[in-house]
Structure 1
Amino acid sequence: MNTNNEAIQNIVTQRKKAHEFYRKNSKVYQAFVEMEQRTYQDGALAKKHKELIATGISVVINCESCMEWHIKQAIDSGASQEEIIEAFEVGIEMSGGPGTVSARFAMDVLYFYLHQENERTDLT
């Protein structure tokens, strides 16, 4: 497993642990989760498009945990590889040079999840 795959898996593991802890112990976190769920519901914008927006923003702010979450959510919402890469490109354009560095990690996350999807497809 390459270093970024390990980093991505660590992000997933830590997010799940933190989510369980805070979900049980923090009313503020519970409210945040409810806000997040409502925000990403289909509305005038489909969930997929909202996740693509969040993916681009994640590149701009260089939030690896955000990239992991929103790229996975975009994939699960039906976004194509091309759509996700265009979201990275919008983030790069909005943040300049630093966005190219963030987008490298975002690309690794995309390939991490696409590889998992291919493995699942190969098993059927």
Structure 2
Amino acid sequence: MSDLINEFNDYREKMNEVILSKNNLVMKRLWNLDTNTYEDGALDKKTKEMLGLVASMVLRCDDCIKYHLGKCRELNVTTEQLYEIFAVANIVGGTIVIPHTRRAAEYWEALLNEKN
């Protein structure tokens, strides 16, 4: 796995453990709500992850972008689909999203290289 992917996943896992170990009910409920939001329902998981990626890009959250990119890769989103997601995010969010698109493209390439 690339350093870019390992660094993100290791830090995320470590800090999630720290936060959840404090046993704060509101934080636990928030984590649970987030998990349940992306389960299959009227929309499937793949669609929800793609929506999450657009929202994360528009909100300019690089950690969220990386998380949703990883989930999109797990759910077999294609590179062609991904670049349509990027297009929607850039139209909705404006040119300020371009730097996040660059980092997202870099992370996607790392994810693709990891699986090959």
Task: Give the TM-score taking structure 1 as reference length.
Answer: 0.83
Residue 58 of structure 2 is matched in structure 1 by 60
CA contact (8 A) 1:67 1:106 kept: yes
Residue 121 of structure 1 is matched in structure 2 by none
> Partner letter of residue 68 of structure 1?
K
Deviations 1:10-34 (A, max 9, x none): 3322211111111221322211121
Match of 1:23 among 20, 23, 27: 20
> Partner letter of residue 82 of structure 2?
I
Match of 1:86 among 84, 87, 101: 84
Q: CA deviation at 1:102?
A: 1.2
What is the CA RMSD across the aligned residues, in angstroms? Answer: 1.5
> Partner letter of residue 115 of structure 1?
N
Match of 1:111 among 88, 109, 112: 109
Match of 2:37 among 4, 20, 39: 39
Residue 47 of structure 2 is matched in structure 1 by 49
CA contact (8 A) 1:52 1:83 kept: no
Match of 1:102 among 97, 100, 103: 100
Task: Give the TM-score taking structure 2 as reference length.
Answer: 0.88
Secondary structure at the counterpart of residue 76 of structure 2: coil
CA contact (8 A) 1:68 1:106 kept: yes
Residue range with higher mean Cα deviation, 18-27 or 69-78: 18-27
Q: CA deviation at 1:8?
A: 4.8
The alpha-carbon distance between structure 1 residues 116 and 7, as it changes in their structure 2 partners (threshold 3 A), is: closer
> Partner letter of residue 24 of structure 1?
S
Q: Among the aligned pairs, what percent are the same residue? A: 25
CA contact (8 A) 1:55 1:84 kept: no
Q: Which runs of 5+ in 1 are unaligned?
A: 119-124
